[in-house]
Chains A and B, each alone.
Chain A
């Protein structure tokens, strides 16, 4: 059974700092997705990573995929308060979601 593990599950960081969220998965997959969820809201698609070595960037967020290591990272650069949300990764196989990383950015 496919397992998708995110860490950390909770992340509190200061504005202006950098940090990385990790997403590990247990079986072979060539596609991985990152989503954002604001409190009480639905999920919004952030990145679609379709191949080994794929890197996507949008603003202060950058996502990458290493299919050989079965690992994706979501890197946050110079965090701002607006990035506070829960971030989920999801793996192509049956769209399994990680448990989510709840990010809080403090001034």
Chain B
């Protein structure tokens, strides 16, 4: 069966510090991978998606970036965090454009 992991689970970072969130998927090959951000009490905002190694599509301009160095690894990064980057970050995988399976999430607080 497939599982998806995210870490860390929670993170408190000062403004201007770097960020690296990691997502890995087990039990499947060549999945589509996604990063979403959810602000408190709000819906999901798609940040990045990837259909293969090194292939990243960005949905919104921001100070975040994503990379997919391996087939089942997806990394979200920032060089300098802003207060507005606070939120709940969710990684998800799917086969093609079918239903997505979400990881447990990372709760980021930028202070």
Contacts and interface: CB of A to CB of B under 8 A. Distances in A.
A66 B36 CA distance: 27
Contacts of B101: 45
A95 B43 contact: no
Interface residues of B, number: 20
A42 B103 contact: yes
Interface in B67-103: 90, 92, 94, 97-103
A42 B90 contact: yes
A80 B102 CA distance: 25
A45 B99 contact: yes
State the 6 A-B residue pairs at the shortest beta-carbon distance, nearest first.
A99-B43, A97-B44, A43-B102, A42-B102, A48-B99, A42-B105
Interface of B: 34, 36, 42-44, 46, 49, 59, 90, 92, 94, 97-105
